[in-house]
Amino acid sequence: MHFQNPSRAGDAGCHGELVEPKERVRMGWREGAGELDARMLERPLPSDAVGKLGAWLAGDGAPYANGTGEHAVRYIPGSWAGIRPWPSGLAEQVGHEPTLLSRAQVLAVARTGAATASWTETLVASYVWGQGDVGYGAHRLGEILRPAPVEAVLAQAIALLATDGAVAGYRRLSGAIAGLGPAFFTKFLYFAGGAVVDAPGPRPLILDQRVARVLRAYTTRLGEEIGLEEPAKLAAWLWSDGGWTPHRYDVYLRWAHGATDQLAGSTHWPLVPDVLELALFSGTWNP
C-alpha cells in the first residue's frame, strides 16, 4: 500500500494575441478575475505541465495509474480515542503504532453512509485521513462534532450534491459548521461524492492550500502572459490559502476536469480527475 506524508492537512503560449508585458492592461479586479478564469479554462495545462505530470504517472505516480484508492496516510489510532461516532472500517482507537488509512477505506465508510443515510462517520474518516498523524487533529475534530446540528448539515449538503451537484453541496457547507473549513469539508464532499450515484455535474474534488498555491502560481503566469496589471496580487486574491467561494470551487472543478481530459488526450493519463489532484498535492508541477 502506498502512502504519502505529510498529511493532507497544451501549448506554452495563450490562444489569441498576447499583450506585451510592458503594456499592462488596466481593468478592475472583477474584470481581471473573469479574464484569468477564462484563460485558465481555455488552456488548462501548458506543455511543461503535461510533460511533468506524464513523467510522474510513469514514475512515482504509477501506483495511481488506475485510480487513487491505494493512496494512504499514517495515523495513530489511540490519538483519536473519545471521538464518536467512530467508523467501524477504521482501526480500534487504541495503541500508538502508526496505521495506514487509504482513500479506498474512507470511500468504503462513505458508501456505508450512503446506504444508511448517515454522514457523520464519513466526516470523521475523511478528517482523520486529512490530518494523518498530526497531534492536534482529534481535539479539533471534537470541537467540530460538538454542536448538535452537524449530522443535519452534512445530510443537507449531500442531498444538494445529489440533486444539484458538487458546488451546491459546497455552498451549503461554507461557514455552516464552526471549525470546518473548505480544505477539510471538500475532503468530506470528495469521499461522499464517490458514494452518491448519478449526482449531476463534475464530481467533487479536494481543494486545499497546496492545490490552491499551484493554481495561484499558474494564474500569475497567465496574467503575466496577457499583460494584466499586478497579476500576482490578483492571483493571490483568487487562489488564496483558504475561504474559497462556491464560484471559485466551481472554477477549480471545471479546470481539473478539463485538464484531465487534456492529459488523457495526450498521455496515458486515466479519466479520473482525483489523480490530478493528488499529483498537484504531491508537488509534481510547480508553475
Q: How confident is the model at residue 181 (pLDDT cuts 50, 70, 90)?
A: very high
Domain boundary among 176, 195, 214: 195
Contact 223, 235 (CB under 8 A): yes
Q: Is 50 within a domain?
A: yes
Q: How many CB atoms lie within 10 A of CB 37?
A: 19
Could you report the per-residue pLDDT of 254-263, keeping only the tens digit for each?
999 999 999 9
User: pLDDT averaged over the chain?
Assistant: 90
Mean local confidence (pLDDT), 76-91: 96
239 and 134, same domain (yes or no): no
Could you report the per-residue pLDDT of 110-135, keeping only the tens digit for each?
999 999 999 999 999 999 999 999 88
Domain boundary among 158, 174, 195: 195
Q: Is 76 within a domain?
A: yes
Start-to-end C-alpha separation, the chain: 30
pLDDT of residue 278: 98
147 and 214, same domain (yes or no): no
42 and 93, same domain (yes or no): no
184 and 101, same domain (yes or no): yes
pLDDT of residue 95: 92
Residue 165 backbone zone (phi > 0: left; psi -120 to 50: alpha; other: beta): left
pLDDT of residue 182: 98
- Indicate the helix (H) or strand (E) that contains 129: helix 120-131
pLDDT of residue 23: 42
Distance CA(251)–CA(91), nearest Å, equals: 37
Give phi and psi for 40, each to the nearest 5: -65, -40
Domain boundary among 148, 163, 195: 195
CA diameter of the chain: 63
190 and 76, same domain (yes or no): yes
Q: Is 287 within a domain?
A: no
Could you report the per-residue pLDDT of 16-71, keeping only the tens digit for each?
323 333 344 455 667 889 999 999 999 999 999 999 999 999 999 999 999 999 99
Mean local confidence (pLDDT), 187-203: 96
pLDDT of residue 203: 96
- Indicate the helix (H) or strand (E) that contains 102: strand 99-102
102 and 190, same domain (yes or no): yes
189 and 241, same domain (yes or no): no
Cell numbers given for 13: 503560449
Q: Is 214 within a domain?
A: yes
101 and 167, same domain (yes or no): yes
Q: Is 228 within a domain?
A: yes
Q: Is 286 within a domain?
A: no
81 and 161, same domain (yes or no): yes
Could you report the per-residue pLDDT of 210-236, keeping only the tens digit for each?
999 999 999 999 999 999 989 999 999
- What residues have CB less than 8 Å from 136, skipping those under 6 apart? none
- What residues have CB less than 8 Å from 149, skipping those under 6 apart? none
- What residues have CB less than 8 Å from 77, skipping those under 6 apart? 90, 91, 92, 93, 94, 95, 97, 99
Is pLDDT at 201 greater than 80 in this prediction? yes
pLDDT of residue 239: 98
87 and 183, same domain (yes or no): yes
| Total domains in the fold of the chain | 2
Give phi and psi for 237, each to the nearest 5: -70, -40
Domain that holds residue 143: 71-195
Spatial CA neighbour of 141 closest among 154, 156, 152, 126: 126
Mean local confidence (pLDDT), 100-116: 98
pLDDT > 90 in the chain, percent: 84
Could you report the per-residue pLDDT of 242-256, keeping only the tens digit for each?
999 999 999 999 999
173 and 213, same domain (yes or no): no
82 and 188, same domain (yes or no): yes
Q: Is 201 within a domain?
A: no
pLDDT of residue 3: 45
Q: Is 150 within a domain?
A: yes
